[in-house]
A and B are shown apart, each in its own frame.
Chain A
Amino acid sequence: MNKKKERIIKYLFTMLAFASLAFLVGIVLVLFKEALPIFTKVSPKDFLLGQSWYPTAEPAEFGILPLILASLLVTLGALVICVPLGVGSALYLHELAGPRQRAVLKPVIEILASVPSIVYGFFGMAILAPMLQNSFNLPIGLCALTTSIILGVMATPTVASIAEDALSYVPRSFREASFAVGADRWQTLTKVIIPAAGSGISTAIILGMSRAIGETMTVLMVAGGSAVIPSSIFDPVRPMTAAIAAEMGEASVGSDHYNALFAIALILFLITFVFNIAAELISRRFRLKLGLSR
Chain B
Amino acid sequence: MHNIDYEKQMGTENFHPSLVKGPVGVNMNSMGEADVFGPEAKISARNVNFYYGTKRALNNISISFSPRRVTAIIGPSGCGKSTFIRLINRMHELVPGTHFEGEILIDGLDILSPACDAAELRKRVGMVFQKPNPFPKSVFENVAYGPEVNGVTDRNLIEEKVVDSLKKAALWDEIKDRLKDSALGLSGGQQQRLCIARCLAVSPEVILFDEPCASLDPISTARIEELILKLKKDYTIVIVTHNMQQAARVSDQTAFFLMGDLIETGRTDRIFKAPRDKRTEDYITGRFG
Contact = CB atoms under 8 A, between A and B. Distances in A.
Interface of A: 2-3
Interface in B104-140: 117, 119
A130 B222 CA distance: 78
3 contacts: A2-B117, A2-B119, A3-B117
A162 B134 CA distance: 35
Contacts of B117: 2-3
**Interface size band for B:** under 10
Interface of B: 117, 119
B33 to A, nearest CB: 40
A193 B119 CA distance: 49
A279 to B, nearest CB: 29
A3 B119 CA distance: 9
Contacts of A3: 117
A3 B117 CA distance: 8
A74 to B, nearest CB: 48
A98 B119 CA distance: 50
A2 B117 CA distance: 9
Nearest to A6: B119
Nearest to B3: A3
Contacts of A2: 117, 119
Contacts of B119: 2
Nearest to B119: A2
A2 to B, nearest CB: 6
A24 to B, nearest CB: 27
A93 to B, nearest CB: 32
A3 B6 CA distance: 14
A2 B120 CA distance: 10
B113 to A, nearest CB: 14
A163 B5 CA distance: 59
Nearest to B4: A1
B82 to A, nearest CB: 23
Nearest to A3: B117
A2 B10 CA distance: 14
A190 B117 CA distance: 58
B11 to A, nearest CB: 12
Nearest to B120: A2
A244 to B, nearest CB: 46
B202 to A, nearest CB: 15
A272 B117 CA distance: 48
A4 B117 CA distance: 12
A2 B119 CA distance: 9
A2 B122 CA distance: 14
A9 to B, nearest CB: 14
A202 to B, nearest CB: 33
A156 to B, nearest CB: 38
B124 to A, nearest CB: 15
A2 B123 CA distance: 14
B53 to A, nearest CB: 16
A2 B121 CA distance: 13
A189 B48 CA distance: 54
A2 B149 CA distance: 12
A3 B121 CA distance: 13
A105 to B, nearest CB: 31
A213 B9 CA distance: 65
A3 B7 CA distance: 11
Lowest 3 A-B CB distances belong to which pairs? Answer: A2-B119, A3-B117, A2-B117
A3 B116 CA distance: 11
